[in-house]
Structure 1
Amino acid sequence: MAEEKIEFETNSETVKFSRNYFRFAVPLMAEFVATFLHTFWGSMAGFPLDRSTNSLNSSVISSDVTIGYPDSNLLPAFQAGFAVWILIVGFFNISVVHFNPAVSVGFLVSGDLVIYMLIPYVVAQCLGAAAGAQIAKSLRGEDLVPLYIQDDANITAIFFCEFITTGFIMFFTLAMVVDKTYQQHTGPFALGMIVFQGVLAGRWVGAGCLNPARWFGPALVTGGAAWNYHWVLWLGDCVGAFVFAIIYMMFFAPEDRIWFLKLNKKVSNLKSPAPYNVTKL
């Protein structure tokens, strides 16, 4: 009897450890790895600060780093969009990866991320971004090119561009995750293309961040002017995700989760008169 009790307690501890591992450890490790890859790929693909051959690998020639519109606008947008597509598909059966603090804020609003996991998620994302940026900097042998915001930039324009572009990323992300009947297999590709559009949309006003952790890493390892107005990227992206998550959940979520119907039902219950208790004398 005692042996059976010990075996039962051992099995219970094993089940508890397994549950906690897949509930906490796996998602956080997935956030770290996904954000690491996202930042590493983007940092390695970025153009060098000094485009003379002296600062580059000997296999690179000057003509390879001549920047035109396709190089400075289309290629970074494609790189970011395809990276998002690859990461979503790659981690699809492991975890619903966010690799973006703004997306984590949006999932908190929708109820798909518990509040005590928000800070660990963001910390894992920032650590992954910092590691990816540091390794990219070491391999390249030079400082990275973070998202610089000039002193004379239109901060209001940057904020609202980040607000709108990241907001729609959150909106369509929730459309994929919240609706359990979603059957569109090209959804991850569509999200990648939304990122592509967002990067293009923000280039001319100095925005195009869409993911504050992605640019936190390069700013951390580069320092200096890389921190200039860095806060507006966090504020614009997180507020945009917050507001658009509310819009989706209020008006566009599936019937069993839409806030508008739940709110309407509560209001109706409040307005309904209480039934009279009729007692026969």
Structure 2
Amino acid sequence: MAKLALGHLREAAEPGCARAVLAEAVLTFLFVFSGVASAMAAGKLGGGADTIMGLTAVASAHAMAVAVMVSAGLHVSGGHINPAVTLGLAAGGHITLFRSALYLLGSSLACLLLSFLSGSGAGAPPIPVHALAAGVGAAQGLLWEATLTFSLLFAVYATVVDPARTVGNLGPLLVGLVVGANALAGGPFSGASMNPARSFGPALVTGEWAGHWVYWVGPMIGGLLAGLVYDGVFMVRPGHQQLPTDDAEF
């Protein structure tokens, strides 16, 4: 605990910390704006995200937005755009939690702007809020979100963080593809948030908080477990020697 606290203070004193925090706020704003707007558009055009076409459109929009925003912020702040990602990386000692301070502000501003831009009246599309599907209980929703977020963080570690990765600069694109795949898989059941900030903005603007805790606890558990598992079991440390492949050398 003391080590983590010192990490917070050390990061807060870094000259680039303010820039990193601001970058995360901007990136989260842009990601949530695109993601929520895609769900609003699916509803306005008919069917919404509860149809296969609507779900595919929303999942694709989230995948592309994540890939681009992670790429845009990777060199400035890490491009987390997700408190669960920050927590998962903190579990492995790769970052502290300090720079996640403005995720919720970026998400809230994006949804407030969308609420204004969508107009008012009977034809205005509502801001969609993450909610569990009919027949899906809180425990099931929690496991959905934890599992999907575990998948996301495992991909972040394997394709972006691990120094032994073999995918080059494709990490952000691959992370975006995982988000899209998870949205297709879990969207009809839990909404496949995988991101507390993504769920917070719509809930704040609409005032609909029913079951909102699921979209904090589930992703945080999944992100934390993924960070601990990958960093503790799979991470290749500097100086690691691969086992020889030639029988004679072995």
Smaller-chain TM-score bracket: 0.7 to 0.9
Q: Report the AA paired with residue 165 of structure 1.
A: L
Q: TM-score, normalised by structure 1?
A: 0.72
Asked if the contact 1:28–1:124 (Cα under 8 Å) also holds between the matched residues in 2, the reply is yes
Gaps of 5+ in 1: 1-18, 52-63, 259-281
Gaps of 5+ in 2: 1-12, 121-125, 241-250
Q: TM-score, normalised by structure 2?
A: 0.80
Mapping 1:113-192, distance limit 5 Å: 113-114=95-96, 118=97, 120-142=98-120, 143-149=126-132, 153-184=136-167, 185-192=169-176
Distance apart, 1:49 and its partner CA: 10
Among 76, 94, 97, the alignment partner of 1:94 is 76
Distance apart, 1:141 and its partner CA: 1.7
Counterpart secondary structure, 1:205: helix
* 1:20 aligned partner: 14
Distance apart, 1:132 and its partner CA: 0.7
- How many pairs were matched up? 221
- Assess, with a 3 A threshold, how the Cα gap between structure 1 residues 151 and 75 changes in structure 2: closer, same or farther: closer
Q: Distance in 1 between matches of 2:55 and 2:116?
A: 25
Q: Distance in 2 between matches of 1:198 and 1:92?
A: 22
Q: Distance in 2 between matches of 1:230 and 1:96?
A: 27
Distance apart, 1:30 and its partner CA: 1.0
Q: Distance in 1 between matches of 2:137 and 2:238?
A: 42
Give the aligned CA root-mean-square deviation in angstroms: 2.3
Q: Report the AA paired with residue 178 of structure 1.
A: V
Asked if the contact 1:98–1:104 (Cα under 8 Å) also holds between the matched residues in 2, the reply is yes
- Assess, with a 3 A threshold, how the Cα gap between structure 1 residues 28 and 191 changes in structure 2: closer, same or farther: same
Q: Distance in 1 between matches of 2:239 and 2:153?
A: 17
Q: Distance in 2 between matches of 1:195 and 1:49?
A: 18
Asked if the contact 2:162–2:235 (Cα under 8 Å) also holds between the matched residues in 1, the reply is yes
Distance apart, 1:233 and its partner CA: 1.1
* 1:38 aligned partner: 31
Q: Report the AA paired with residue 220 of structure 1.
A: L
Distance apart, 1:66 and its partner CA: 4.4
Among 178, 187, 206, the alignment partner of 1:194 is 178
**Which sits farther off after the overlay, 137-146 or 79-88?**
137-146
Q: Report the AA paired with residue 212 of structure 1.
A: P
Greater C-alpha radius of gyration:
1
